[in-house]
């Protein structure tokens, strides 16, 4: 399994500002993933972050709004730019790694960052 | 495209009883994996159990078991001997091969409430 930490755990921000969320993993991983979970909704993949290359964004998400950095194999940041109330969500990072069950690769998630935009 | 359907927005169960959370899926892939996650009110996503499409036996992990019926394309989660701490959102998710090995497709989730 993987131990994933995120900072901040929660924040309340003003409209028009930006917030950078950090994700740290206790082991080296090739890909890191950023998800958004809007209130009462399921998880939606924002982008996949590979070390040494540009992040790959899913439909509906753009780099100008959600710039991502991946400076090394254990760390990534997601910035939510020019925030509006519609950006209020839980943001989660995740990685694939060998699970404890039959060594099957499993996607583990960080504890999430709960963002409220006023 | 892959699709996960969880038809139960909410479920109630009494402590110590068993409960089944439904999950059906749609995929044209021959090889795929099915996952269940638990999300308590704190927001973290906790991995519970995994079932591979070629696994002949139903997956079990402690009080969690997966009732996998491949022909029906269903992968229901069974929680035995429910505990108050089981109250949470539960998400079913699927991993497929051609459509992207590294990402999961999630269902809308089921809110489970365990009463004393």
Look at strands B46-52 and A113-117 and give their pairing.
unpaired
The greatest distance separating any two alpha carbons of chain A, rounded to the nearest whole angstrom, comes to 47
Q: Count of CB contacts below 8 A, A vs B?
A: 54
Higher-scoring residue by pLDDT: B96, A94? A94
Q: Is the distance from CB of B97 to CB of B32 less than 8 angstroms?
A: yes
Determine the residue of chain A that is closest to B52 in CA distance: A104
Q: What's the burial of A50, exposed, middle or buried (CB within 10 Å: 0-12/13-18/19+)?
A: middle
Phi-psi category of A23—alpha, beta or left, where left has phi over 0 and alpha has psi -120 to 50? Answer: beta
The pLDDT tens digits of the residues spanning A68-117 come to 999 999 999 999 999 999 999 999 999 987 644 445 678 899 999 999 99
The pLDDT tens digits of the residues spanning A27-69 come to 998 889 999 999 999 999 999 998 888 899 998 999 999 999 9
Close Cβ partners of B42 (under 8 Å, ≥ 6 residues apart) = A111, A112
From chain B, which residues contact A within 8 Å (Cβ)? 33, 35, 37, 42-47, 49-50, 52, 59, 61, 91, 95, 102-104, 106-109
Give how far B103 is from chain A: nearest CA, Å: 8
Q: Is the distance from CB of B78 to CB of B20 less than 8 angstroms?
A: yes
Q: How confident is the model at residue B98 (pLDDT cuts 50, 70, 90)?
A: very low
Find the CB nearest B102 among A43, A92, A96: A96
Taking an 8 Å cut-off on Cβ atoms, the answer to whether B50 and A101 are in contact is yes
């Amino acid at each position: 399994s993987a131990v994933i930490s995120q900072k901040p755990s929660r924040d309340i921000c003003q409209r028009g500002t930006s917030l950078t969320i950090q994700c740290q993993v206790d082991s080296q991983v090739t890909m890191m993933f950023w998800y958004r979970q809007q209130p009462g909704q399921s998880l939606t993949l924002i982008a996949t972050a590979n070390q040494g290359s540009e992040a790959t964004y899913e439909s509906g998400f753009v780099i100008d709004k959600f710039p991502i950095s991946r400076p090394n194999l254990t760390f990534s940041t997601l910035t939510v730019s020019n925030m509006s109330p519609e950006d209020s969500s839980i943001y989660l990072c995740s990685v694939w790694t060998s699970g404890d069950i039959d060594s099957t690769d499993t996607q583990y998630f960080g504890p999430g960052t709960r963002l409220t935009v006023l | 495209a892959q699709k996960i359907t969880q038809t139960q927005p909410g479920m109630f169960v009494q402590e110590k009883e068993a409960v089944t959370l439904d999950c059906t899926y749609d995929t044209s892939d021959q090889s795929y994996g099915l996952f269940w996650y638990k999300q308590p009110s704190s927001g973290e996503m906790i991995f519970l159990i995994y079932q591979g499409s070629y696994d002949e036996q139903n997956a079990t992990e402690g009080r969690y078991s997966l009732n996998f019926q491949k022909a029906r394309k269903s992968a229901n989660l069974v929680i035995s001997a429910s505990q108050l701490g089981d109250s949470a959102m539960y998400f079913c998710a699927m991993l497929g091969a051609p459509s992207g090995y590294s990402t999961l497709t999630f269902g809308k989730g089921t809110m489970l409430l365990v009463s004393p």
